[in-house]
Amino acid sequence: MDVQVRKGDTLWYYAGLFNVPLPLLLDSNPGLSPETLQIGSPIQIPGWRTSTHIIEQGDTLWKLAGETRLSLDALFLLNPNEDPGRLQVGDPLLIPERVTNRVVNGNRPYTYTALTGDLQALFKLYPFIRTSVIGQSVMGKELQELRIGRGNESVHWNGSFHANEWITTGVIMQFLNDYLLALTNKEPIRGMDVQPFYNRIRLSIVPMVDPDGVDLVLNGPPEGAFGETALSINEGSRDFSGWKANIRGVDLNNQFPAKWEVEAERKPKAPAFRDFPGYEPLSEPEAVAMAGLARQRNFSKMLAFHTQGEVIYWGYEGLEPPRSMTIVKEFNRVSGYEPIRFVDSYAGYKDWFIQDFRQPGFTVELGQGVNPLPLEQFDEIYQESIGIFLASLYM
């Protein structure tokens, strides 16, 4: 929601007027100097939007302020040209409206288009979110990183490394929306005050690593060469439900230089619907983007969300730091997911992250069953994962 600065207004005043934490307000207006606001400058108020009320007989600003539980000055601020004593029946009046409900519905077939639409809605409501395009998919779709918070410790989440595990993106996006609601409304999540996280943590999220693959699974093959290639790899079948790879048949979570040669020796030797690690590590633009992001951001903790199994893989060759065990025990306590330290699988993002950065890295396998997991499991998976999201921020 935008307002215009009046004489004497300050960001501190707006924070009190709309009951929004000052750091969120400051970060929503990064180009402005709080000490030298210019009259008429636009100010973005996070977590608020406007609705239009058509003035009826008997309406007054005092009456409307009481009915909407708003400060009278909030109405004056949005309607500076209205004479409070001469409201005209039939005229529109802007009403500030606090956002208290989600705009994200993760419980649906979560395509790249669904993600893009939800991101646009969140950026509009929560302008303190920072976003970067970290790369592009094979087909040129933008790979978006979101950043929330101003702390020194950087925590990273990602989803949909595998195409038919797209439910992970919906889970991440729905929790992100709940986190933003809790921040702007000063409300807890599961009894936990999340306000301190904003000042302590810089949260980095790549909600969909493999958008081409996700769309292939959910929408079928695209027109043109990429779709024809995918159909050929899939032996002519238009059922892509088992497809884990990117659009050209490379398994992105087998792409990283952490014993990649071991996986290459025992996995498919040519593009396939799953498990082909590529002809060399980091051959795919999606994997290159994720490796570059980790090098740039210096994550202190990384969680890659996959499906399925209700387990958490947390070790790699004994290179994980001792605090990884403490963290994964807390993940187990809050979710019931079983911690597994070592597994005979390599070249994953978690493996490479631990190997190269010696920081805690986790592969969280949400839900149980056959991928793609049915949406009937979404609510249960979401409730199981909330504790993991929170614990990644406080541990």
Which residues are annotated as catalytic?
Answer: 346, 365
* Distance spanning both ends of the chain, measured CA to CA: 34
291 φψ region: left (φ > 0), alpha (ψ -120 to 50), beta (else)? alpha
Single out the residue of 339, 340, 341, 329 nearest to residue 395, CA to CA.
Answer: 329
* Cα dihedral: 145, 146, 150, 155 (round 10): -70
- For 153, the 3-state DSSP assignment is strand
Angstrom distance (rounded) from CA 12 to CA 15: 5
Both tokens of residue 47?
Answer: 């977590």
> If you compute the radius of gyration of the chain from its CA atoms, what whole number of angstroms results?
24
CA angle, residues 341, 347, 348, in degrees to nearest 5: 65
Look up tokens 């609510």; give the residue. 379
Angstrom distance (rounded) from CA 239 to CA 59: 59
Strands 142-148 and 153-159: unpaired
Phi, psi dihedral angles at 277 (to 5 degrees): -85, 5
Angstrom distance (rounded) from CA 237 to CA 175: 35
CA distances from 390 to 21, 46, 244, 304 (A): 20, 22, 28, 15
Strands 153-159 and 201-206: parallel
CB 286 within 8 A of CB 292: no
CB 229 within 8 A of CB 248: yes
| Angle in degrees, 0-180, between the axes of helices 378-394 and 323-335, rounded to the nearest 10 | 150
